[in-house]
Amino acid sequence: MIDLFEPVAAACRIHVPASDRRGIAIVGAGAIVDVAHLPAYRSAGLDVVGIVDLDITRARAVADRHGVEHVYRDLDEMLCDDRIEVVDVAVPAQAQPDVARRVLHAGRHMLGQKPFAPSVAAARDLVRLAQQRDLVLAVNQQLRYDEGMMAAHAMVALGWLGELTHVSIDVDIWTEWTSWPWMIETPELEIWNHSIHYHDVIRWLLGEPDRVYAVGGRTKGQAPRGETRSVTSYHFESGATALVTAHHENSFGDPHATFRLDGDQGSVRGTLGLLYDYPSGRPDTVEVMSRVVPTDGWVPYPVTHRWIPDAFVGPMAALLDAVSGGSVPLTSALDNLATLGLVEAIYSSMHSGEVTHLLPDAGLEQRLFT
């Protein structure tokens, strides 16, 4: 059985070619850079040259903690540093397009945080600009590189589940939204800032849906203005279905975060370990049952890495590979336009109370630029 898992383990390996030691600078010295970006890049041996933040004291503290050599006074100073080939931007979505435009105009390849932009329209302009300047632009939509999710995706790709018919993700946790003061006043909260990862993964597993239906909710007395609960159901032309449920007001200390993939020949079930004690959590769990393999009941796949920080190597490694002439990053900004479009469609359903129909899958480029 261990040998059987070798192709799954191979699919989960994140490759950082030794020749890709390019100078990286980071914009934003916030919580996620501190706990995820910098620890991940250090363990992968990447070359982080410097960092900048509007709050220079915060940037200095983060740089000291992680041994980052240079703290820039501002973005202009950073973009004058010839050693920088790649800029990793990790600021709130509202601030990201302006930073991204400046980075791309300065001729640097860029990785943006999720959500990549506050709207498809803003993101589309950035994708166009990167294309015109022949620069690689990708998004840190890193749940696709979380080992449990990668293993589940690999099992689908190996045919162990037969035809994939249903995917469900069910999260019931406490989220301390006040840790991000800029999120408190936003009228659309949960999906833009959290569940976007799950919706992106649903696209990765099942392709583009033909319709979605969503409801959202708030809890009396909660601090944030926007929704802190969402339930989204999907339908695909193939007949496949999906369901994403996220609830962030669990105050009783019994969080759960599960995923399940069902096919006509097998199923995968697992947990997203990070969400049991954010931001360290534990490794995911993954089990598979398959008539194709075949397995004798549920068989556990041994997960050894964590969402935070390990998955954060993935989008950056893929971007560096693309800069060196490798393949298009799995989480390219072009691909991410469809994730943002899906999020907008989900909110449209939530606000109208109606099903939102999406355009049929006519090819990403054609669908997103016409």
Ligand X SMILES: NC(=O)c1ccc[n+]([C@@H]2O[C@H](COP(=O)([O-])OP(=O)(O)OC[C@H]3O[C@@H](n4cnc5c(N)ncnc54)[C@H](O)[C@@H]3O)[C@@H](O)[C@H]2O)c1
Other C-beta atoms within 10 Å of 362: how many? 11
**Min dist. Cβ of residue 322 to ligand X (A):** 20
Which residue, 5 or 198, has its beta carbon nearer to ligand X?
198
The yes or no reply on residue 114 touching ligand X (CB under 6 A) is yes
Residue nearest to ligand X (CB): 30
Q: Is the dihedral of CA 52, 56, 62, 64 positive or negative?
A: positive
The yes or no reply on residue 35 touching ligand X (CB under 6 A) is no
> Of 6-14, 30-38, 209-217, 238-246, which segment contacts ligand X by CB under 6 A?
30-38
Which residue among 92, 159, 162, 326 contacts ligand X (CB under 6 A)?
92
Which residue among 7, 15, 55, 238 contacts ligand X (CB under 6 A)?
55
CA–CA separation, 319 and 24 (whole Å): 11
DSSP notation for 299-351: EEE-----TTTGGGHHHHHHHHHHHTT-PPPTTBHHHHHHHHHHHHHHHHHHH
> Of 18-26, 88-96, 155-163, 199-207, which segment contacts ligand X by CB under 6 A?
88-96
Whole-Å CA distances, 21 to 238, 316, 321: 43, 12, 10
Count of residues touching ligand X (by CB under 6 A): 24
Which residue among 28, 263, 273, 315 contacts ligand X (CB under 6 A)?
28
Three-state SS at 357: strand
The yes or no reply on residue 326 touching ligand X (CB under 6 A) is no
The yes or no reply on residue 255 touching ligand X (CB under 6 A) is no
Which residue among 87, 93, 122, 149 contacts ligand X (CB under 6 A)?
93
> Of 21-29, 200-208, 231-239, 249-257, which segment contacts ligand X by CB under 6 A?
21-29
Instruction: Answer whether 84's CB lies under 8 Å from 78's CB.
Output: yes
Which residues are registered as beta bridge partners of 214? 232
- Return the residue matching tokens 């240079």: 70
Question: Which residue intervals of the chain are DSSP H helices?
Answer: 6-12, 31-32, 38-43, 56-66, 75-79, 96-105, 120-132, 147-157, 181-184, 190, 196-206, 313-323, 333-352, 364-369
Which residue, 65 or 291, has its beta carbon nearer to ligand X?
65
The yes or no reply on residue 53 touching ligand X (CB under 6 A) is yes
Three-state SS at 101: helix
Three-state SS at 61: helix
> Of 12-20, 22-30, 146-154, 251-259, which segment contacts ligand X by CB under 6 A?
22-30
Whole-Å CA distances, 329 to 73, 114, 136, 142, 144: 31, 15, 9, 12, 12
CA–CA separation, 160 and 143 (whole Å): 21
The yes or no reply on residue 99 touching ligand X (CB under 6 A) is yes
Which residue among 14, 63, 78, 91 contacts ligand X (CB under 6 A)?
91
Which residue, 8 or 84, has its beta carbon nearer to ligand X?
84
Q: Which of 252, 254, 189 is nearest to 218 (CA)?
A: 189
Which residue among 22, 42, 58, 269 contacts ligand X (CB under 6 A)?
58
Instruction: Answer whether 87's CB lies under 8 Å from 109's CB.
Output: yes
The yes or no reply on residue 330 touching ligand X (CB under 6 A) is no
Residues 132-151 that bind ligand X (CB under 6 A): 140, 142
Residues 185-214 that bind ligand X (CB under 6 A): 193
Which residue among 30, 263, 266, 273 contacts ligand X (CB under 6 A)?
30
**Min dist. Cβ of residue 279 to ligand X (A):** 8
For ligand X, the binding residues (CB under 6 A) are: 27-33, 52-55, 58, 90-93, 95, 99, 113-114, 140, 142, 180, 193
